[in-house]
């Protein structure tokens, strides 16, 4: 399997499929690059080079003790893009990966990335605090951390239906999808899984979003019970100058699966412009 090594010695696994204009995919918590299977196959089959990596601590990448912050994630991504000499890419981030996209653009610029997509993303800021009263109660994230340390497998098993929306009437998500989600999540290390809760909930991306000056597509389901649309997707689209917002009516968090056909077409259209 292909790997790159970061400046602190962390091995980052990546997949590189197809040829053509590159589309780079950044996965969500607590999954890995395999969550993008449906997008990677579709986009590569339609004339694009599609690249997805396992973030440090997740999937097949190394599990270092430190480095679970967005500056480091952005630097890891830059190492990958530099290694592959990626240019003219569309950078797509799902959930936690949306923060990676935002921080990459402000930390490393747009020379390699002239377009971006924020999908069900945690941007601009999830947690409630004095200057962000509309955010989510910090106790929610404390509960996630406690659940991970008490019984990680049990917590993730209970989290899966909320993540995929299988707990909602009419959901077409079945047991195999829930088991696949659990399988991907348990490939991660507990340290990265735990530390990233603070990273994705407490990092303030409002300055990052305001500084984005490339075409940006924001896609979010308004039925998302994990990353609330009003706190994130709607707010993010308002902060990014000229952003296009697509709302998937009633969609849960895991749009990469539940709305894969619609999402694939939207990504194809945006990347083809």
Would you name the residues annotated as active-site residues? 95, 224, 253
Rounded alpha-carbon distances, angstroms, from residue 252 to 82, 256, 258: 34, 10, 8
| Per-residue H/E/C for 77-92 | HHHHHHHCCCCCCEEE
Query: Distance (Å, rounded) from C-alpha 184 to C-alpha 200?
Result: 18
138-164 vs 190-202: helix crossing angle, rounded to 10: 110
Query: Distance (Å, rounded) from C-alpha 238 to C-alpha 16?
Result: 33
Cβ atoms within 10 A of the Cβ of 82, count?
A: 12
Q: Are 40 and 263 in contact (CB under 8 A)?
A: no
Query: Distance (Å, rounded) from C-alpha 250 to C-alpha 258?
Result: 11
Nearest Cα neighbor of 189 from 84, 75, 22, 60 is 60
Alpha carbon 184 to its chain's center: 14
Task: Note if the bond before 30 is cis, omega within 30 degrees.
Answer: yes
CB-based contacts of 256: which residues, under 8 Å, 6+ apart? 35, 36, 38, 39, 94, 119, 263
């Amino acid at each position: 399997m292909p790997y790159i090594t970061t400046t602190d010695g962390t091995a980052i696994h990546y997949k590189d499929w197809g040829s053509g204009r590159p589309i780079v995919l950044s996965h969500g918590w607590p999954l890995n690059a395999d969550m993008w299977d449906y997008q990677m196959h579709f986009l590569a089959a339609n004339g694009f080079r599609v690249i997805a990596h396992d973030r440090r601590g997740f999937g097949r990448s190394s599990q270092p003790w430190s480095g679970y912050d967005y500056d480091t994630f952005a630097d890891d991504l830059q190492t990958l893009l530099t290694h592959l000499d990626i240019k003219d890419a569309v950078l797509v981030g799902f959930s936690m990966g949306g923060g990676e996209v935002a921080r990459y653009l402000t930390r490393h610029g747009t020379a390699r990335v002239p377009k971006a997509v924020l999908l069900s993303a945690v941007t601009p800021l999830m947690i409630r605090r004095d200057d962000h009263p509309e955010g989510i109660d910090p106790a929610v994230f404390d509960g996630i951390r406690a659940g991970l340390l008490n019984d990680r497998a049990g917590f993730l098993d209970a989290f899966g239906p909320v993540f995929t929306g299988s707990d909602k009437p009419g959901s077409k998500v079945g047991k195999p999808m829930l088991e696949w989600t659990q399988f991907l999540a348990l490939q991660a290390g507990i340290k990265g899984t735990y530390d990233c809760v603070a990273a994705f909930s407490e990092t303030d991306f409002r300055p990052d979003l305001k500084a984005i000056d490339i075409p940006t597509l924001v896609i979010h389901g308004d039925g998302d019970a994990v990353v609330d649309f009003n706190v994130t997707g709607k707010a993010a689209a308002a902060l990014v100058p000229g952003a296009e917002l697509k709302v998937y009516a009633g969609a849960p968090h895991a749009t990469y699966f539940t709305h894969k056909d619609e999402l694939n077409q939207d990504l194809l259209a945006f990347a083809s412009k």
